[in-house]
Structure 1
Amino acid sequence: MTHPAPPVSPPRTPRPTLQNVLRRAHLRLAFVAVAMAAVSLIVVAVIALRAYAGNNLNLLARSLGYTVEAALVFGDRIAATEAIGLIAKEEDVAEIVVTDSRGRPFAAWQLPAGSAIARLERGVADVALPGPVTVRVVHDGIVVGYVEVRGQGHQFFGFLLGGVGGILGCLAVSVLGAYISSKRVLRNIVAPLRALAGVAHAVRRERAFERRVEPVAIAELNQLGDDFNALLDEFEDWQNHLRHENASLEHKATHDALTGLPNRVQFEARLTRALGEAAVTGQRVAVLYLDCDRFKEINDGLGHEAGDAVLIGIAARLRSELREADLVARLGGDEFAVMLAPMRAASSAAWIAEDILSSMTPSIVLSDGRTVATMVSIGVALYPDHASDASGLLRAADAAMYRAKRARPGSWQVAEGVAGPA
């Protein structure tokens, strides 16, 4: 009698050991945490750099607009090309195009094609950074042209490569540490990774670039934290650099390079704000328009250096005669303007005009020891007596200044023919 064969059991699948399970679980956890931190940091970096690069391009375009304004007005293409070329060499730009008011090409500058890496940088910049920035060039309220600036992306590309390399290095260190760790090490790894992810999220959500990952006991994660902190240091340095560059460009756009005084653009903007406040409070605002009576004679006879010294000396004396709340600006050439706001009494403008004329009496000493005598003529206009807006107030003060100059150089007059004392 034959017996039936016993059933054949299926082969058993090898089961992983607890150590392998822990290693794999920790590996997955470490990978997810580092990937989240890396993606968050890259996203934050791109957003921040894009925003700051856009502001930088906008301020650079505005600065270029002020630089080529005169060339556009006088149709000097060569001067415009030279001016934008000098500025472009110092900035991270790929192309600058200046057109006239009708959109016709006026002047242009373009970075040479360069190597394949340079072309790759421009391709990355075209995708990741803001597109070309275009600003209007305005002269006396009339649009005389346009300036278009396109970023090169060299700094962004280098920074991006360094960031990706650092993140990949951090990820490699984390994977190696996860592979050789145990259950106890696993618990010690989770907390540092969570802290790192928390810093990355804080940087992304709150722009908290000052946050840093604290040192930990495990060497691999400590190295990861150091690399992460190094990336944050680079991001913070880049942010501060862009902030400083933006501030510098903004200062150049609103201040006179020779005297350091605010220029016409800033003066008119602040005058407009002061008139708005005065309309609410019912107080007066005074504008003094000043012109140097002997400037052309000094410039032609003693040279441009002497003329510059006279302008600097006049600016210094004007500052010394005014209150901290008052504003003095150089409008261009040998013309200055002073805003007195607020003013309780109209007679205060007359006293200040007299003080300014008195301050111009001493001669200005040049660098070679020679002395130059100078004087100014002043026109005074008051809000709301002579005009209700900034441009009208400046025109009224300018007209009064010319009446004072014709009547007697070195004197002052009030708008609408009211003359100051001789």
Structure 2
Amino acid sequence: MRQAAAPASPPRPTLQSVLRRAHLRLAFVAIAMAAVSLILVAVIALRAYAGNNLNLLVRSLGYTVEAALVFGDRVAAAEAIALIANKEDVAEVIVTDGKGLPFAAWQLPAGSTIARLERDVADIALPGPVTILVLHDGIVVGQVEVRGQGHQFFGFLLGGIGGILACLAVSVLGAYVSSQRLLRNIVAPLRALARVAHAVRRERAFGQRVEPVAIAELNELGDDFNALLDEFEDWQNNLREANVALEHQANHDALTGLPNRVQFESRLASALSAAAVTGQRVAVLYLDCDRFKEINDCLGHEAGDVVLVGIGARLRTQLREIDLVARLGGDEFAVMLAPMREAASAGRIAEGLLASMAPMIVLPDGRTVATMISIGVALYPDHAGDAVGLLRAADAAMYRAKRARPGSWQFAEGVAGPA
């Protein structure tokens, strides 16, 4: 039964987008709170100012209609009210006589929808109708009631809303500019650090470093990251050196520094594969020190080690750069000559190797040691078709040379002479 695929996780927001949204929210909240606070303060102040104006206006109207109330002149009262109310921010004026009966009134025409909206806002935000008693010689002769229009308050409210929107637009622009600066000062260094981290993780590029930046915290983070990369680079270099050393130890003889049997057989197999394609010969020389056991028994193992090192060095000097000499173990060495154009060349090289052993080997204590080697030579494809068979044929030829005359060389059986 197939399992249902896990739902894909939503994309994560970038640091730049998070900072930009945070700036926009902060700017919006700050401007909104400041605007609301200012509007509340202004509304309270304007309400108090409107109340004072209405109180002054109602007193003025009371003085104006006092005579008309005393003499009962309704027309004069109405004209006086209209003369004053038309010039003020007034929606309605009602005058009653001493008995509370309507005497005169003035009301602002209904007008447009905006005018009606202004009155609705005034009814909610401004003080209620202001009333004053009209006195004549200490006797109440009437009452004047005034209701504000709210035109000035409505204009202030619209202006405040427009100011808030303008401030929000400016804040958005400022947040965008600020986010661009953050991109340069904060996000860009973090992106650079992330690029270096990705390169180190994917490409093992431990040599890369984070550049210094202006912000102290980010610069300190970059320094710590660079220090960590330094440690990783040192660790990688040490590991590489250790691997090289281990590889060298696995493929080379610890005493002489020459390739060991494993490397010799591997390179011999590669050379035989190439020779099978090109049709050329490959020669293997198997060498053995004739007096090595005697040297070890009489002079000690340290002297034997010096002799082996000396033999390896002399063999190396007699060969070409493309030839390979190896220590197979104990006092046995092997040489690979590839390519070989003719069998006689292998014999001449064997003669040269024997001749190189003639000088005495000087020990650290000043004593000298004479040494000889016996050599067996085998050719591909004359004596064997693989590495194991070729080494076996050369080894057998070396033992025949040692039995016939120590310090000599012989071809493997099957070759009568140089070809």
- The TM-score bracket by the shorter chain reads 0.5 to 0.7
* Larger RCO (CA under 8 A, 6+ residues apart): 1
Unaligned residue ranges in structure 1 (runs of 5+): 1-17, 26-181
Q: Secondary structure at the match of 2:286?
A: strand
Match of 1:271 among 246, 268, 273: 268
Aligned-residue CA RMSD (Å): 2.2
Q: Tell me how far apart the structure 2 counterparts of residues 233 and 184 of structure 1 sit (CA, whole Å).
A: 32
Asked if structure 2 preserves the Cα contact closer than 8 Å seen for 1:413 and 1:420, the reply is: no
How far off its partner does 1:393 sit? 0.2
1:186: Cα distance to partner?
A: 2.2
The SS at the match of 1:385 is coil
Residues 110-130 of structure 1 show CA distances to partners (whole Å, capped at 9, x for unaligned) of: xxxxxxxxxxxxxxxxxxxxx
Shift of 1:19: 11
The reply on whether 1:326 has 2:327 as its aligned counterpart is no
Gaps in structure 2 of 5+ consecutive residues: 1-18, 27-177
Matched residue, 2:229 = 232
Partner residue in 2 for 1:282: 279
CA contact (8 A) 2:383 2:414 kept: no
2:212 pairs, out of 201, 215, 240, with 215
2:19 matched to 1:22?
A: no
* Residue of 397, 411, 417 corresponding to 2:394: 397
Q: How has the CA–CA distance of structure 1 residues 20 and 338 changed in structure 2, closer, same or farther, with 3 Å as cutoff?
A: closer
CA separation in 2, counterparts of 1:24 and 1:193? 23
Deviations 1:313-345 (A, max 9, x none): 100100000001000000011000000011111
Percent identity over the alignment is 81
1:236-278 CA distances to partner (integer Å, 9 max, x unpaired)? Answer: 1111111111111111111111101111011000000000011
Deviations 1:355-389 (A, max 9, x none): 00000011111111111111100000000000000
- What SS does the aligned partner of 1:358 have? helix
Counterpart code for 2:182 = L
Secondary structure of the 1:262 match is: coil
Residues 114-148 of structure 1 show CA distances to partners (whole Å, capped at 9, x for unaligned) of: xxxxxxxxxxxxxxxxxxxxxxxxxxxxxxxxxxx
**Compared with structure 1, are the counterparts of its residues 386 and 219 closer, same or farther at alpha carbon in structure 2 (3 Å cutoff)?**
same
Shift of 1:420: 8.2
SS in structure 2 of the partner of residue 238 of structure 1: helix
Equivalent residue pairs, number: 248
Amino acid at match of 1:206: E
Task: Please report how far the alpha carbon of residue 22 of structure 1 lies from its aligned counterpart in structure 2 after TM superposition.
Answer: 3.1
Match of 1:317 in 2: 314
Q: Using a 3 Å threshold, how does the CA distance of structure 1 residues 301 and 419 change in structure 2: closer, same or farther?
A: farther
Distance 1:286 1:20, change over 3 A: closer
Q: Is 1:348 paired with 2:384?
A: no
Deviation at 1:205, TM superposition (A): 2.2
Residues 376 and 411 in structure 1, CA contact (< 8 A), matched pair in contact too: yes
SS at match of 1:228: helix
C-alpha distance in 1, partners of 2:414/2:305?
Answer: 32
CA contact (8 A) 2:288 2:373 kept: yes
Answering whether residue 197 of structure 2 is matched by residue 200 of structure 1, we say yes
Moved over 6 A (4+): none
Is contact 2:212–2:222 with CA below 8 Å preserved after alignment?
yes
Task: State TM-score, norm by structure 1.
Answer: 0.56
2:411 maps to 1:414: yes
Larger Rg: 2
Change (3 A) 1:20 1:404: closer
Q: Matches of 1:349 and 1:212 in 2, distance apart? A: 56
